[in-house]
Structure 1
Amino acid sequence: MTDTACILYSELEIHIPYSQSLKDKRQVVNRFRDRIRNQFNASVAEVGSLEDWQRAGIAIVMVGNSRTHLDRQLSALQAHALEIVDGEIQWHSREWL
Structure 2
Amino acid sequence: MIVGLCRVELRVPMSQSLKNKRGVLKSMINRIKNRFNVSISEVAKHDDLKLASLGIVTVSCDRIYVEKLLNKVLDYIEANYIEVQLLDESIEFI
TM-score, normalised by the number of residues in structure 1: 0.90
Q: Which amino acid aligns with 1:53?
A: L
Match of 2:16 among 3, 16, 20: 20
* Residues 32, 84 of structure 1: 8 Å contact kept: no
CA RMSD of aligned residues (A): 1.0
Does residue 51 in structure 1 map to residue 47 in structure 2? yes
Secondary structure of the equivalent of 2:48? coil
Between Structure 1 and Structure 2, whose CA radius of gyration is higher? 1
Q: Percent identity at matched positions?
A: 29
> Unpaired runs of 5+ in structure 2?
none
Q: Which amino acid aligns with 2:67?
A: D
> Unpaired runs of 5+ in structure 1?
none
TM-score, normalised by the number of residues in structure 2: 0.92
Does residue 91 in structure 1 map to residue 74 in structure 2? no
Structure 2 partner of 1:31: 27
Q: May I ask how many residue pairs the two structures share in their alignment?
A: 93
Structure 1 partner of 2:57: 61
Match of 2:38 among 32, 37, 42: 42
